Amino acid sequence: MVNYYKLLRDDNAISMLFNVGKFDLSQSTFNNFVQVLSLDCFDNPTTRYLDILRKNLGNNAGGLKNFDERTLIKMLSNYLLLHGDDKYVEVDYLIISEFLQNISSSLINQIEQENEDEIEHRHTLHIEQGTLTNLEALHTSSFIQGCISLLINENLDQRKIALIILSKLINLFPTLKNKVCMLISITPNCYSWFFRTIKQDAIFKHFTTTGQDYIEKEQFTNKSFWSVVYLFQETYSYWLIVSNDLESFADDKLTINQVVEFLEFSKTLCLTLIFNRTDSKLLKNISILLLNQLYLKNLRLKFLDQEFWSPKKLTFNIDPLIRIIAEEEEKDDDESENEEIINHKISFDSYSKVEVLKKLPFFIEFKDRVRIFQALIELDRSEIFNENNFFFMDDFQNKLIGKIRRFNLLQDAFEAFGKTGSKFKNRLQVEFYNEYGPEVGIDGGGITKEFLTSVVNEGFKPGDLFKETSENQLYPDAKIYEKLFLKIDADKQQENLQYLRFLGMIVGKCLYENVLINVSFAPFFLNKWCNENLKNSINDLNYLDSELFKNLIKLTQMSSKEIDQLDLNFSLSEKIDKQIYNFELIPNGHNQQVTSMNILNYIHQLSNFKLNQCLKIQSNYFLQGLFTIISKNWLKMFDANELQMLISGNEENNVNIMDWQNNVEYGGYLENDLTVQLFWNCVEEMSMDEKFKLIKFVTSVNRAPLLGFGALNPKFGIRNGGRDISRLPTASTCVNLLKLPDYQNKEILREKLLYAINTEAGFDLS
């Protein structure tokens, strides 16, 4: 029997073993070689050893499946060490594929910490640096391009080898994943090859022509087909991140028709993976991610009808979904134990529908999701009420009391409620003070609304906390991060972060109390609300800085010489308090020149700096406050556009007059009184813009409530304003009340009403 540990100290013994291997290709010799490969007995590339290993391992590579992952990793590392810079031939790719297909873990340095964003839901192995250095040969451009050449040729055996290698390399080193995807992405017509290969398979036809929303999982037995699908989705997902919308349907990528065809397949695939118990976690995760990416791209480019996302037959009963989500919210910290308990209580079908709601919410009607959202708030409110009753706390004890000076509104609000945490969900008792002292008023909900909208008006002004895009959409000021990074006025920036947290609580309270506010947030900021781990990309930069976006797009159209003449590097200069500071886009970025080969990475890194890195800490503080009031899981049901509607009301360019009339509370009037009838006649004759102005005049928001006027809180009210027809209509926005004089004349009523809403004369918060 060979003493393998002796080989560590005996080069002659190693040489003897390899000499035997020249002529003996038996299983026992193969076993000897793989045992030696697992030891630390090689220092340099050795072509003679490599040639012998190619013969032995190439003939017996199937036997590698009997070894554990750590041993396989060591063997592969030594094989690559012996290979050195020698040209990779077909047998090398075969041997490497056999190693890799038996390794499912991701590898990281022993001294590195796992990055949760990069290695989520994967098993990881900590490997010593020498082994990792050898394995990095698998991520060289020459090796990957060799794999790509094997992938797109007509030899099915070579294609299978390449699929195994490339699919495994995607996950082997999470930090190098993008390089693999990038090299595939820049291969001319590679995506067209992927699509043709996928489309010509019978499985694709079955998925796209079935009359069902999902099919049985037996379709996943064809491993070769699903390997192609997986690899395509990983690389296309990367392409969508680094490319811009203007090149979405470029000739050498996928045409718009091909994208739509693939989306038909993808919808069925994602629902099939959700509604069947499957071990294909990697395929499931990337399929859902890519479908969401294409959904968001469609929101920007609008190449699909909204009906495209409607399921064929699948229905969603709202009440069971609400119950399941509410139960999940009550889970303890022990996720696995509670998940098992919940799964016993509900059917797999119901649980799958909840997963659709969480991960692919656009399959469910927006208004149904709004109803779920509001029902969850009511359940939460009831739970708080029951808890308070359990501890014999009356309504007065539950209230949070705040004394607010109107001339110091934001600071007083922050001092009164900024540290209340989740108790901010309780009823508020706000007492306003003006220059003469306390204002008289009993809060029936109106003063709370006035307080919230007043804080919003003060806190969301463009200034030290928020900046505005050219479209008047708000986002956190990047200077907060930059000054913290540079340690400039750090105490003030920490205070700004606390105010951002409080303003997140305010927005959460508005959502909790169904109070609409007239604030528009930038889509790239709202993206963080529905997925705090989402990374904005180049396409979102257009919302932040359209000029910078256009200039970056121009870079992609320049020649290598033109790019070189710009003398760009991977750093950025920013002006702060009249001083110029440099920020690195990547480590040592000022020494990394921008070239035609790395221009896409430069654009990606610059966009990442502007949209993610510069806004991360501010967004995190804001979201901490928001999620104190509103569960982050509830907001994941919506995209950025839908969140804006939750905040500010219906975006649709119409108003349902019948719904409006049926949900009015009258004071001093009956609904058949002459002035009331004339009022509604005038409203029906108004332009859409005038109707929105009237709604804003009374409610402070220029949009109708999402679920109709019946959901407005307090109800839209019309009170008799007296018989003095010289007076204008006035409004108390804190209680959504229109004070309408008893004009009893249509022309006078129209003239006075239009004047009031166009000038906001008579706008009254009292």
Q: Which 8-state DSSP code applies to residue 663? A: T
DSSP 3-state assignment of 402? strand
CA 410, CA 459: separation in Å to the nearest integer? 6
DSSP 3-state assignment of 580? strand
Is the separation of the CB atoms in 469 and 544 below 8 Å? yes
Provide the 10 A C-beta neighbour count for residue 573.
Answer: 8
Looking at beta carbons, which pairs linking 540-549 to residues 24 or more positions away fall under 8 Å? Answer: 540/607, 540/611, 541/607, 541/610, 541/611, 542/245, 543/469, 543/471, 543/473, 544/469, 544/475, 544/610, 544/611, 545/610, 546/470, 548/610, 549/244
DSSP 3-state assignment of 670? coil
Is the separation of the CB atoms in 484 and 493 below 8 Å? yes
Candidates 14, 17, 16; CA nearest to 42 is: 14
Burial-class residue 433 by CB neighbours within 10 Å (0-12, 13-18, 19+): middle
Q: 510 catalytic, yes or no?
A: no
- Angstrom CA distances, 734 to 443, 502, 647, 650, 715, stand at 10, 21, 17, 19, 11
- Angstrom CA distances, 452 to 428, 619, 669, stand at 10, 21, 30
Candidates 95, 10, 14; CA nearest to 59 is: 95
Q: Which amino acid is at 624?
A: Q
CA 262, CA 224: separation in Å to the nearest integer? 18
Is the separation of the CB atoms in 502 and 625 below 8 Å? yes
CA 226, CA 33: separation in Å to the nearest integer? 33
Is the separation of the CB atoms in 202 and 270 below 8 Å? no
CA 13, CA 6: separation in Å to the nearest integer? 8
Q: Which of 147, 181, 530, 734 is catalytic?
A: 734
581 bridge partner residues? 574
The token duo for 718 is: 């019309």
- Angstrom CA distances, 535 to 180, 346, 643, stand at 19, 34, 18
The token duo for 554 is: 């121009």
End-to-end CA distance of the chain: 95
CA 212, CA 271: separation in Å to the nearest integer? 10
Provide the 10 A C-beta neighbour count for residue 158.
Answer: 18
CA 95, CA 740: separation in Å to the nearest integer? 85
DSSP 3-state assignment of 11? helix
CA 49, CA 55: separation in Å to the nearest integer? 10
716 bridge partner residues? 664
Residues in the chain: 766
In what helix (H) or strand (E) does residue 106 lie, and over which residues does it extend?
strand 106-109
- Angstrom CA distances, 526 to 360, 396, 543, stand at 17, 36, 12
Phi and psi (nearest 5°) for 113? -90, 145
CA 711, CA 427: separation in Å to the nearest integer? 19
DSSP 3-state assignment of 390? helix
Q: Which residues are catalytic?
A: 734
